[in-house]
Chains A and B, each alone.
Chain A
Amino acid sequence: MSVSYKAVQWNRQKLVYDAVLLAALGTYLVGFHQLAPRLDPNVEPMNLRMRAFGSAAFLLLHVVLSIGPLCRIDRRFLPLLYNRRHMGVVLCGLALYHADLALTWYHAYGNLEPVVSLFVSNPAVGSVARFPFEWLGAGALAILVLMAATSHDFWLANLTAPTWKALHMGVYAAYALLVGHVALGALQTNTHPGLTAGVVLGALWILGVHLVAAHRERAADTPATAGADGWVEVCAVGEIPEDRARVVFAGGERIAVFRYDGRLSALSAVCQHQNGPLGEGRIVDGLVTCPWHGFQYRPDCGAAPEPFTEKLPTFDLALRQGRVWVNPRPHPPGTPVEPLPVPGAPGGEAA
């Protein structure tokens, strides 16, 4: 991969993903425009559109925020993660249109610039019912725009994955701001129990799945006990499935020990693309393949196949009384390490 800009590289999966996303979104917006006037016959067309796009953005944010932890809990959700960034960009578009409608409807016809009017027309910060909830929405929108603008791999490569990830964790702040935006805005005037229940259940869901995922991650990050020589025991050889890995936390990060073709190799379990969980990937065509976006690496040296240039740190392995041990001191990224033969396995050593 190059750090120079390349337009989105479409493939069949991305096209299907986006088609399903846009179809679902169109169905929701049309359904909202059909159903809402029946529940509230006096709703203004402008308000109707504003609510349709605002609620669509809020719902889509719940979907976006659910995908990550669901993938940690159950691998069957991984296809949803593949093109999640497009979902985020669509979400940003919905939120921008909602904000544009609100600015036009409530702030465009005064003697102030609409954006200025938004921030100065309501100073009632001490009131719950009259709190300027629009400020919270504007803050969330700023984060969403920043994330959408930097969502391309160009920014990912230039900022590096850890920095890019840290930037995009701003979505959690955006979510908190948007819950406040809805709670102090729509929920103050619309007391329908269905709306209140929807927002509360949505918050409980998001918090619940993220806390469960965080708990699992914390458990997986328990440091392994090192031997006297500093090496760390991973597991028995037979516990590593063919073309899969066992992951151990040592030396401050996760190490994945892959078994393939009767051999064992150890790599950093952090994909160079988006820092995905490489240890949960598998060997495809002889290459370690990340479950998130399919980035691949040679198991014996951690280098991506030509023409790609990503490289992972590698680790030394040893077999001691039928158990696999790893040295947590990494070799520089891309350093070849002789794979460890598995005794008795085809392609490995005799038992």
Chain B
Amino acid sequence: MIHARRRAHGRIFTVLAVAVPGALLASLLLRPEVPPIQGGDAALLRADGFALAPPTEARTLGAAPHTLVVESLGDRDGRRVLALRPEPAILAPDVLVYWTDADPGPDALPTADATLLGSLSGAARRELLLPRGVGPGQGRLLLYSLSHQEVVAQVGLGADAEADR
């Protein structure tokens, strides 16, 4: 190289000798603590309400086209835990799941005393906790599309429940 390029090379690497280690160090020190998702690490999925326990004996409740595969996963902190899986997949957007002990009637929106349990999407199997004190087979679930602002389906939880509307 000619002298001017040699001098430029020396200056460039003087700058890089400060900038590159500095940038590397900053990127490593400011790296978030959230661990990457590994195959066996389902903490993030569990935190988001996905049911990860192996499937147990299930009932299919509701009427086509919106039936739910419902499993009882026992109690947690005095509240009954259900695993719900739409079958077939729900195509409505932003579906929220409410529990209510009342019969709101066809197409009625969730009332103020309905309890929001969580959300469903596609064919994902989600864990939902029922309100404290709710017994087996008590009440019904309302599947409400937030985007469309309509009840997609109602599913009774009773053993003899058919559904429904």
A interface residues with partner B (beta carbon < 8 Å)? 40-42, 128-129, 161-162, 165-166, 169, 172, 175-176, 179-180, 183-184, 187-191, 196, 199-200, 203-204, 207, 210-211, 214-215, 217-218, 221, 249, 252-254, 270, 275
Q: Is the CB of B28 within 8 A of A275?
A: no
**What string of 1s and 0s marks CB contacts (under 8 Å) between B1-25 and chain A?**
1111111111011101101110110
- The stretch from B30-38, B46-54, B71-79, B107-115 touching chain A is B30-38
Query: Smallest Cβ distance from B119 to chain A, in angstroms?
Result: 24
Complex Cα distance, B9 from A216, in Å, reads 12
Chain B nearest CB, measured from A114 CB (Å): 25
Instruction: Give Cα distance in the complex from A196 to B28, angstroms.
Output: 9
Which of chain B's residues 26-71 have a Cβ closer than 8 Å to chain A?
A: 26-28, 30-32, 35-36, 38-39
Q: Are A190 and B36 CB-contacts (below 8 A) given A176-B19, A207-B16?
A: yes
Cα(A21)–Cα(B109), bound, Å? 69
Interchain CB contact under 8 A, A179 and B20? yes
Least distance between A276 CB and chain B CB atoms (Å): 8
- Are B36 and A191 interface neighbours, CB within 8 A? yes
Asked if B4 and A162 make an inter-chain contact with CB atoms under 8 angstroms apart, the answer reads yes
Partner of B2 from A180, A196, A218, A275 at Cβ < 8 Å: A275
Would you mind naming 22 contact pairs between A and B with Cβ atoms under 8 Å apart? A128-B30, A129-B32, A161-B2, A166-B8, A172-B16, A176-B16, A176-B20, A179-B20, A184-B27, A191-B31, A203-B20, A203-B21, A207-B16, A207-B20, A207-B21, A211-B13, A214-B10, A214-B13, A221-B7, A253-B2, A270-B1, A270-B2
Q: A200-B24, A217-B6 are in contact. Are A165 and B13 (CB under 8 A)?
A: no
Q: How large is the interface on B (under 10, 10 to 19, 20 to 34, 35 or more residues)?
A: 20 to 34
Q: Which residue of B lies closest to A274 (CB)?
A: B1
B-side contacts of A180, CB under 8 Å = 23, 27
Knowing A162-B4, A188-B32, A203-B20, the reply to whether A218 touches B10 (Cβ < 8 A) is yes
Known: A172-B16, A183-B23. A165 touches B1 (CB 8 A): yes
Q: Which among A40, A199, A214 has the greatest number of chain B C-beta atoms within 10 A?
A: A214
Contacts of A218 in B (CB 8 A): 6, 10
Q: Are A129 and B13 in contact (CB under 8 A)?
A: no
Instruction: Quote the shortest CB–CB distance from A139 to chain B (angstroms).
Output: 14
A17: min CB distance to chain B, Å: 22
Task: Name the distance in Å between A275's Cβ and chain B's nearest Cβ.
Answer: 5
The secondary structure that dominates the B interface is helix
Query: Closest chain B residue to A207 by CB distance?
Result: B17
> Which residues of B are at the interface with A, using a C-beta cutoff of 8 A?
1-10, 12-14, 16-17, 19-21, 23-24, 26-28, 30-32, 35-36, 38-39
User: Contacts of B2 on A, CB cut-off 8 Å?
Assistant: 161-162, 165, 253, 270, 275
Partner of B9, one of A40, A42, A169: A169
Q: Inside 8 A of A187's CB, which chain B residues have their CB?
A: 27-28, 31
Minimum C-beta distance from B13 to chain A (A):
4
A275 and B13 form a contact (CB under 8 A): no
Query: Residue among B4, B10, B13, B28 with the most chain A CB within 10 A?
Result: B13
Considering the complex, give the chain B residue whose CB is closest to the CB of A161: B2
Chain B residues whose C-beta falls within 8 Å of the C-beta of A184 in the assembled complex: 27
Which B residues touch A275, using CB under 8 A? 1-2, 5
Q: Which A-B residue pairs are the 6 nearest by beta carbons?
A: A214-B10, A183-B27, A128-B30, A42-B39, A129-B32, A210-B13
Known: A183-B23, A187-B31. A254 touches B3 (CB 8 A): yes
> In the complex, which of the residues A40, A129, A162, A188 contacts B5, with contact meaning CB atoms closer than 8 Å?
A162
B21 to chain A, nearest CB (A): 7
Interfacial chain B residues near A40, Cβ < 8 Å: 39
Q: Which residue of A lies closest to B32 (CB)?
A: A129
Q: Considering only CB atoms, which chain B residue lies closest to A192 in the complex?
A: B36
Q: Is B13's CB under 8 angstroms from A207's CB?
A: yes
Q: Could you tell me if B31 and A128 are in contact, using CB atoms closer than 8 angstroms? A: yes
The answer to whether A199 and B24 touch (CB under 8 A), given A129-B31, A275-B1, is: yes
